[in-house]
Amino acid sequence: MRNGFTITEVLITMVVLLITVLLILGIATRVTIVSAQSLTTIELADDLLKAAMELRKEIIKAGPKADEVSFDPSDPARISFKVSVPFAGEDYGFQDYLYVIVFNRPDIELQIYRKNPDNDLILEKTKILVSDISTCTFFVSPGTISFTIGKKKNSIERTYFISIALSNLE
């Protein structure tokens, strides 16, 4: 009986160890890639939900009536609605405003126009509601305003769809 290993035994052991190491590295790399994609997907979904809730808040705050929503299907990145605000001006009556939500890539802006007595629109305020959005499309149906927003990061794109029922229907 001799001491040690034969060359065949050493080569078989090295091949088994090499296959084991490569298998472990492959699994670890795959888990890392999948984890990074999952984290990006979760981050995109979170950002889109926050953006959708911000848009929803502004639309509900303005409280448009269903018959005062203006939407042009040829320009789905823009929606506007007329709003009458009590005690907004120097008079004790109502002041008419036009709220416009428009998607100017990559931002979604709220533009507020005031109607003067001559029915001219005067821009009063511009506010960026949401930043870093890749797509935004509005839809209007009787009694609801719907929109789809999307965001892209690291070749992963997510979209979010929401509908808002207009509570003050007339």
Q: Per residue in 66-109, pLDDT tens?
A: 567 777 888 888 888 887 777 766 667 777 888 888 888 888 89
For residue 109, tell me if it sits in a domain: yes
Q: Is residue 50 a part of any domain in this protein?
A: yes
At 32-63, the pLDDT tens digits run 878 888 888 888 999 999 999 988 888 887 76
This prediction has a pTM of 0.69
**Mean confidence (pLDDT) of the chain:** 84
Three-state secondary-structure class, residue 119: coil
Does the residue 123 lie in any domain?
yes
In a domain? residue 82: yes
Whether the Cβ atoms of residue 108 and residue 101 lie closer than 8 Å to each other: yes
Residues 6+ apart with CB under 8 A from 150: 48, 133, 134, 135, 136, 157, 158, 159, 160
